[in-house]
Amino acid sequence: MATTTLHAPAPFLRRRLGLILLLGISLTLSFMLIACRVVYTRELTFVFLLWNLFLAFIPFGLSMLLGLTDRPLRARVLLPVGAVWLLFFPNAPYILTDLFHLTPRAGVPYWYDLALLLSCAWNGLMLAYASLLDMQMLVQRRLGAAVGWGFATVALLLSSFGVYLGRYLRFNSWDIITNPLMLFYDIMSRILHPFAHLGTWGVTLLYGVFLLLGYLTVRQLGQLRSDETANF
């Protein structure tokens, strides 16, 4: 009888220990900035960012769990889990748009709120890229490098569209269950009548290109590090 084998968690996590520690420290900084602001002002102005960071962590957690396998995942596992991952993935880069909330407020230095929002936006972006990297490797292991890069590109473009749906139309990931008809109508309206919704595609393409360039930069930096390490 065929069995599915898993990596021992220790080797898999050891390879990502540095990343996990850095993300943990960076997330802790965001939590502390939010907590200190609440204590100082006695207001809950940016507490919603804690929920946004939690949502951003979900795709990262899913990709980490999938990465425990030591062989190409079967379609019956990869497809449903990948669909859930893709549903929550836009929540990670979405935090970049929380910079819209930056405005001078009495009682708190402007630079403090800027640091707080940048910290959360940075964490959302890094969680997105770390998660996408794991998912790309899983797809690449099964279908090849070209399909892996195609998957990463499409995922970033779809996430940009998801960011638009969340920021401007105020949909959430769970609306696919709680409000599917309205979500489907608004999506199809923009697909069937693109010239009536130029803002939708402007945001999607511009944000998608920005995210893709950032991802390519991160990947290139990682490749440079690997090449330099191999030369020693």
User: Cβ-count burial of 218 within 10 angstroms (0-12 exposed, 13-18 middle, 19+ buried)?
Assistant: middle
- What is the value of pTM for the model shown? 0.88
> What confidence category does residue 222 fall into, taking pLDDT thresholds of 50, 70 and 90?
confident
> What confidence category does residue 76 fall into, taking pLDDT thresholds of 50, 70 and 90?
confident
> What confidence category does residue 17 fall into, taking pLDDT thresholds of 50, 70 and 90?
confident
The rounded percent of the chain whose pLDDT value lies above 70 is: 88
Angle at 213 between CA 111 and CA 165, to 5 degrees: 75
Which among 13, 85, 82, 23 is positioned nearest to 53, based on CA atoms? 23
> What tens digit of pLDDT does each residue of 96-106 get?
999 999 999 98
| Cα(95)–Cα(89) distance, integer angstroms | 11
> What tens digit of pLDDT does each residue of 169-211 get?
999 989 999 999 999 999 999 999 999 999 999 999 999 999 9
- Beta-carbon contacts of residue 77 (< 8 Å; ≥ 6 apart): 66
> What confidence category does residue 64 fall into, taking pLDDT thresholds of 50, 70 and 90?
confident
Residue 154 has pLDDT above 90, yes or no: yes
| Cα(87)–Cα(212) distance, integer angstroms | 18
What does pLDDT average to over the chain? Answer: 89
| Cα(67)–Cα(201) distance, integer angstroms | 33
